[in-house]
Chain A
Amino acid sequence: MIKIEKRNDLSRSIYFLTPILAIFLTLIGGGIIFYILGFNPIEALKFFFITPISDLYGLSELLVKATPLCLIAIGLSFCFKSNNWNIGAEGQLIFGGIVGGGVALLFYNHDGFYILPIIILSGAIGGMLFAMIPAILKTYFNTNEILVSLMLVYVAKLLLDYLVVGPWSNPEGFNFPETRQFSESARMPILFDGLRIHAGIFITLITVFLSWLILYKTYLGFQIKVSGLSLKTAKYAGFKGKTMIIIVFMISGACAGLAGVGEITGPIGQLHRNISPDYGFTAIIVAFLGRLNPVGIIFASLIVALTYLGAETAQIFLQVPKYTGQVFQGMILFFLLGSDYLLFFKIKFLGLKKNEH
């Protein structure tokens, strides 16, 4: 007989070590997959994880990808910590992008230092408003926020599709599904010539610091923590549960909106159909890999960003589809959840127990 028991002694260091174990297991799992596909696993993993960041351009690309991932994951950590399951960050990102992009298009032939801040702010507000839909439906109509936030992703995607094909499409764009290029004043400043890394990284870093402050040093953070651990206790302590649900969704949506606006004013420079390679969904993995801890999330976003780059390199050098990146992301989450299970529970082998007397 096998018996599964809850562990009651849980050390903090192990709690932060299991993500590293999960990454290690992912490497082994990935190696096996490459081996089955007929590659030398060591070589293949080198292409996947080392080659992409072996030069300055690669490192810059890593940060370009990690910037939105980290930002979204930080926002999601507010929701997840308080037991609100916002799965729709991708939709909030896109909607933030739409609103920010719309404002950028308004200013397409203007110049001025004030343009970029307005765009960034409107993108954050866009994402925030979009995230409030599931929050309000949850608090006042008892809907399931997982379903609502997820379905709204498709609403946002289709809306973007409609806009770039229809009313917002570039009048001189030969009917390509894309808008005009934004003006220089509507673009994130590039940090180094020749590299794509942009000022959005500062927004991310400031957000990380602010969220650390909110989560660990404020009454709001305390309320979020208690509600996440026990809703009954939160009610007993007299926390305003509904207001808090709406606040965490607003924070999370604003972060996703910022990420969206960072993408379109940063590397992309216009609106088109694919402004995000599923950053909103991948950020869920980042949030959990980083243990919902602001510093943890920084490291997690770098690692997961690497899987995006690795997939592109592998596509070029090994001719495997770039979706291998998603396989790796999936494996990370799988191994993380697996090792978490062993972290919280222990399995006891009891041997066969005799029932007869």
Chain B
Amino acid sequence: MNTQLKVSKISKIYPGCIANDKVSLEFESGKIYALLGENGAGKSTLVKILSGVVKPDEGKVFLNNESIKLNSPLDAKKNNIGMVFQHFNLFETLSVFENLSIDSDKKDEDLRVLVNDILKKYNFKIDLDIPVLNLSAGQKQKVEIIRCLIRNPKVLIMDEPTSVLTEQETDDLFISLKQFSKDGILIIYITHKLKEVLSLCDEVAVMRKGKVVSVSNTIDEKIESLANKMVGENLNTIKKKINNFKNSEEILKISNLNFKSDDPYETNLNNLNLSLKKGECLGIAGISGNGQNELFQILSGEIITEGTSIMFRNKEIGKLNPRERREYLMAFSPEDRISQAAVPELKIYENVALNNFKSSNFFEKGLVNEKKIKEHSKKILSNFSVNTDNVELKSQFLSGGNLQKLIIGRELITSPELLVCFNPTWGLDVGAINYIHETLIQINEQGKSSILISTDNDELLKLSDRICVIYKGKLSKIMNADTVTAEKLGILMGGGSID
């Protein structure tokens, strides 16, 4: 039997952010649908609405032309909408079968027969009686899928399913999904990976900033066209003056750096190599979640690596923690300005004291030198035009732009040789963005270097001297910024290749 799913004018507004803006889409069984978009484009919100986790502010969902109410995940189950989340919901210490029987109302014997049928039909090889913790990520995902299949779903939604899978497991998954589709299950596949869309899906809907910007057949699309739709076609070509750094001194060199995380939701970094010259800005583009976080932490010293893998001004710094790296005149501005770069509950001067190293003398013989910290803070507030002169103010009362100015100011007032920043203008208003951009260009002009990890391509093209793209923990070739276009970046960001 055919299944039709329709969402009509769905809107969901969170404070300060429109997650879904009158989203209307139609799906029909027999096809695999891709929902494509960058992080924050609104895909996950839509999926949560379809699975009953989030209630929309406006709009309706129709299943086979009947309006359905999805007030809870239970309602989604009742309507035969199955969902496999990116993060697994399994009890690690229970066996596979116990995990399956927990939320099933069938008798154990019947359930076992049913599960065995499913295993045979789709050629899944999983031992039902071993604890889930012994399974690989791909197998765990299969358990989640079986859990949905037990209920004879009409609709199966997969949320970024390949983020924790190996290539082989991804191939297996695609074979299974195609088979489900043939068996009449309507499949909605959420991703930001362009290649996967082209190899798996029949139709693709692209979301950007909460809106559906395009719906098309994948046959008519190429990686480039999807990339443009996903990141926006705004080809902003204002660039800073490109300099030639051939004869400049090399300040940072990373060679053959690998990072393997114990956490399956983190990205492993493979064989990173990069070098940076004095006065240069290296831009690192990529869709978030491709290893930028890990790369930032490796640069800042939050993740410690082998000493020799990172050379900064001819010193091995891989083993040093962030505070020790600051002694060597490195500075860091993390992505999360509200809960990492600064603490909202702390006063401005206390947040300034976070950038502490021996020569700052903020703490002498273990005691706080409040006077010194406050003087220093005042200087930052005035030099970086932060909209207050009260160092006793709690930083939660600063606007995003002022907070970011404070952070950048705190990092730069020590005249570091290298500033590493990660999405420095994320969520700021135009005025603040311009100020930060000017500041970043200025430090390059003063002969200081910077690494800009950003998901904003306009920003990267505007500020970088050289650009590379990070995808699945690997860096692309490093290109001179004047040879790079937004289109090229889009292709590399989606996992394509250019010559």
Contact = CB atoms under 8 A, between A and B. Distances in A.
A274 B420 CA distance: 58
B321 A238 contact: yes
B342 A233 contact: yes
Given A219-B367, A222-B363, A357 B58 contact: yes
Nearest to B333: A236
Contacts, number: 63
A240 interface: yes
A220 B356 CA distance: 13
Contact of A217 (B332, B340, B367): B367
Q: How large is the interface on B (under 10, 10 to 19, 20 to 34, 35 or more residues)?
A: 20 to 34
B418 to A, nearest CB: 16
A237 B342 contact: no
Interface stretch (B106-114, B202-210, B346-354, B475-483): B346-354
A217 B343 contact: no
Contacts of A232: 336, 339-340
B366 A220 contact: yes
A175 interface: no
Given A8-B396, A226-B343, A232-B340, A237 B354 contact: yes
A238 B353 contact: no
Interface stretch (B88-96, B135-143, B322-330, B378-386): B322-330
Nearest to A219: B363
A238 B301 contact: yes
B396 A233 contact: no
A44 B334 CA distance: 59
Interface residues of A, number: 21
A233 B368 contact: no
Given A218-B368, A226-B343, A230-B340, A236 B363 contact: no
Given A236-B334, A240-B321, A230 B343 contact: yes
B300 interface: yes
Interface in B270-326: 300-302, 321-326
A235 interface: yes
A238 B323 contact: yes
B165 to A, nearest CB: 26
Contacts of B302: 235-236
B304 to A, nearest CB: 11
Interface string A250-281: 00000000000000000000000000000000
B233 interface: no
Contacts of B396: 8
Contacts of B332: 236
Interface in A224-243: 225-226, 229-230, 232-233, 235-240
B341 interface: yes
A237 B321 CA distance: 9
Nearest to B327: A238
Interface in B241-292: none
B323 A233 contact: no
Interface in A202-234: 216-222, 225-226, 229-230, 232-233
B340 A222 contact: no
| Most B C-beta atoms less than 10 A away, residue of A217, A232, A357 | A232
Contact of A219 (B321, B324, B336, B368): B368
A236 B343 contact: no
Nearest to A9: B397
A233 B343 contact: yes
B9 to A, nearest CB: 9
Interface string B368-403: 100000000000000000000000000010000000
B366 A226 contact: no
Nearest to A357: B58
A119 B48 CA distance: 62
B66 interface: no
Given A229-B345, A236-B322, 15 more contacts: A217-B368, A219-B366, A220-B366, A221-B368, A222-B350, A225-B346, A226-B343, A230-B339, A232-B336, A233-B354, A235-B302, A235-B322, A236-B340, A237-B356, A239-B323
Interface of B: 58, 300-302, 321-326, 332, 334, 336, 339-343, 345-346, 350, 353-356, 363, 366-368, 396
25 contacts: A8-B396, A217-B367, A218-B367, A219-B366, A219-B367, A219-B368, A220-B366, A225-B346, A226-B354, A229-B346, A230-B343, A232-B339, A233-B339, A233-B343, A233-B354, A236-B322, A236-B332, A236-B334, A236-B340, A237-B323, A237-B355, A238-B301, A238-B321, A238-B326, A357-B58
Closest 10 CB pairs of A and B: A238-B323, A238-B322, A219-B363, A238-B321, A232-B340, A237-B354, A229-B343, A230-B343, A219-B366, A235-B302
